[in-house]
Chains A and B, each alone.
Chain A
Amino acid sequence: MSTPATRPPDATPHPAAAAPGDDIKFTLPPPEPTGVSSLVVHPLARAARQFVKSLWRPSTIVYPYKTPFGKTTERLESPAFRKEVGIRSGAPLGVGEIWDNYRGVHALNVRTCISCNLCMFSCPDTCIEMVTTEGPDGKAKKCPEIDYGKCSFCGFCSDACPEGCLSMTARYTLTTNDRHHMVYSPEMLYTVYKTKLPMNPVRLARPENEDNILLDQDLCIGCNACARDCPTKCITMIEIPKPGAAKPGEKLPKRIWKEPSVNDEDCVRCGTCISVCPKDCLYWGSHG
């Protein structure tokens, strides 16, 4: 069986014959250069390429992204940045074939996923489910599992991902004999990530006037649930006197209460703290 030259590199010979997950392995990485010099040069070049990619990949969110030169507010919108980065959204992968910003199968970097649930929340088709998987350090971790039987490839999940770890690749071969094989576990998505297919580089810039997490101090019981479950650890419990406990003219009570304080710069607005709060004392709003 001969494969035409214009076929994209991720086309599998016969996907139905492959076991679930095996079809991904047909996507071979580019051939390694041979020779003595490649032993030294190639790993360095690959590391440099990865580093350069890591510079622009997590550029989706404007606010939590920090550079050595301080906080940048308009990355995707500035023409200079677009000239450097946006050009990558228009590279064809073959004559009359797909482009590298094609919205195909997702690639998930399990290592950088912070389990913020934003991909699940933003999915219009509810095809994403957070399942427990093994993280890089061996601990259990919640990562998205995508059901491609439902997915409409709209890209809202990769737009919502604050860390840039969920992206869409140019891979589109999904044919299978069993519909259960269309559910891609985080491990399979990580396998796609490791094939280093071109990923959609341009991401949606979020608006500046987004909501912050606010606290209704009268309701808070200081249970620490929000700080425990915050994926970015941006909530700290600070010790303050419990409000409302001291009447006017009365001494402050001895008991010191804890209540959360949210670092808005690190917050990714996932709302996990709101959903775990037992007293509904956290809510969306603006400081003004």
Chain B
Amino acid sequence: MSEMWINMGPQHPMTHGLWNLRVKVDGELVIDAVPEMGYLHRGIEKICEYRQYNEVVTLMDRCCYVAGLAWEQLYLMASEQALGVEVPERAEYIRVTCQELQRLASHLMWFAAFVMDIGLMAPFGYGMRDRDVILDLFQSFTGARMTYEYMRVGGVRNDFPVGFTDRARGVMDWLEHRVDDYEDLCDRSDIFLKRCVDVGVLKAKDCIRTGITGPMLRAAGVPRDLRRDRPYSVYPELDFQVAVHDAADVYGRYRVRMEEMRQSIRIVRQCLDHLDKRPGRVMAEKVPRFVGTPSPPPGSESYIVRRGYPKGVGLSAMEEPHGEAMAYVVNEGGEQPYRVKFRSPVMVNISAAREYLVGYRVSDIPAIMGSVDICVGESDR
């Protein structure tokens, strides 16, 4: 009788954040696993109800700190639907460029952390360095490295600076070779392969049953990508492929993400070409009157406004770097959203930990959980 429960977390190098994985082990064998979330709960959905539509954007960057722009657009797509705002085409292309750059940054961050979990220390520096180059790109037009606050209801805050497209193209050319190098580096490493192949297998049927989305689902052979299957923004006009792998294990997830980085580079190049040719507005001409007007602090009752408020409900779904994220915004008429709800892909992916952890060794847990690509900030909110 050697069964016992082990707490991996809330402070553990494997967790990449603040959550707790309780595993029941029999010797080295994992026979049960219970993820415990909620250590990073900040009540963001509730705070959204007390902020104006534009001010919620500041929270979205804090929601997911490796893919802030993705969550900004996710929230804004829902709120624009609820408010009835049309986004200009150029702003959509700028947003998609941000999306794909953010996906690159997020996957590079994942690559650095995941490979270090496996035990290869050198790629950690490579991944973080390449991500830093993309953060420099972000800083050149948003003014910040992680908390961007770049998008607004009806478009984006400002256009790309002159010369940005050439600079971004240079980064893409450089990064394309780096991705190939990293794949060589890992695929030729016996240690990497031994720790990844046939570990953490979760077949397509189980992925669909547990609601797993994103690269984990595509690594199981299901070619589902919201950018192609339920297109939003200007993705229908862009040419890219959905990365799919059949292995359904940690190695497959790694390959899917590496291929997604190449596809992101493709999409960014197409967007940059379009942005060079087509100048235009980056902010909608007509937005609801109260969106641009600052709100008074609570307590000044005499600041009562009588305006014609539109009402509506917005629901958006997008392919975030971690999986399929959804946002639901209820606009009951007013300066603040009545209710904001998010669907976090990471929360679902972690919740199915029992499915892909049971039956493997304790030493496999860092590799398996690393392949999930955890961002606790968005799952706890």
Interface footprint category on B: 35 or more
A86 within 8 A of partner (CB) = yes
Contact residues of B: prevailing secondary structure: loop
Selected contact of A82 from candidates B162, B285, B296, CB within 8 Å: B162
Residue numbers in A under 8 Å from B126 (CB-CB): none
5 closest A-B pairs by beta carbon, nearest first, are A90-B161, A122-B294, A121-B294, A202-B158, A79-B279
A274 B302 Cβ-Cβ under 8 A: yes
Picked from A96, A205, A274, the residue with its CB within 8 Å of the CB of B283 is: A205
B11 located at the interface, meaning its Cβ lies under 8 Å from any Cβ of chain A in the complex: no
Answer yes or no: A159 CB below 8 A from chain B CBs.
Answer: yes
A77-B283, A87-B161, A90-B141 known; A121+B297 contact, CB < 8 A: yes
Asked whether, in the complex, the Cβ of B294 is within 8 Å of the Cβ of A207, the reply is no
Asked whether A77 lies within 8 Å of B304 as measured between CB atoms, the reply is no
Does A2 make an interface contact (CB < 8 A)? Answer: no
- Known A-B contacts: A77-B280, A99-B140, A283-B304. Give 4 more (CB < 8 A): A82-B159, A155-B143, A210-B292, A269-B293
Could you list 13 examples of A-B contacts with CB < 8 Å? A89-B141, A90-B161, A98-B139, A118-B294, A121-B297, A152-B58, A154-B149, A168-B143, A200-B143, A204-B152, A206-B292, A207-B292, A283-B306
A101 to B162, CA, bound (A): 13
Q: Does B176 contact A (CB under 8 A)?
A: no
Judge whether A264 is part of the interface by a CB distance below 8 angstroms: no
| A contact residues, range | 35 or more
Candidate in B158, B284, B300 with the most chain A CB atoms within 10 angstroms: B158
**Contact (Cβ within 8 A) B143 A152:** no
Q: Is residue A251 contacting chain B, with contact meaning CB distance below 8 A?
A: no
Residues in chain A near residue B141, CB distance under 8 A: 89-90, 101
Which residues between 264 and 311 of chain B lie within 8 Å of chain A, taking CB atoms?
A: 279-287, 289-297, 300, 302-307
Minimum Cβ distance to chain B for residue A151 (Å):
11
User: Once the chains bind, are B302 and A124 in contact (CB under 8 Å)?
Assistant: no
- Tell me the residues in window 73-90 of chain A with beta carbons closer than 8 Å to chain B beta carbons: 76-77, 79, 82-83, 86-90
A209 at the interface (CB under 8 A from B): yes
Interfacial chain B residues near A82, Cβ < 8 Å? 159, 162, 279
- Is B73 an interface residue, CB under 8 A from the partner? no
B290 near A211 (CB under 8 angstroms)? yes
CB-CB under 8 A from A277, the residues of chain B are: 302
B164 at the interface (CB under 8 A from A): yes
A283–B302 alpha-carbon span in the complex (Å): 10
Docked complex: A109-127 residues within 8 A CB-CB of B: 118, 120-122, 124, 126
Distance in angstroms from B86 CB to nearest chain A CB is 13
Contact partner, B307, options A88, A89, A211, Cβ 8 Å: A211
User: Given A204-B158, A207-B284, do A275 and B296 touch, yes or no (CB 8 Å)?
Assistant: yes
Cα A79 to Cα B159 with chains together (Å): 10
Asked if A284 meets B161 with Cβ closer than 8 Å, knowing A101-B143, A154-B149, the reply is: no
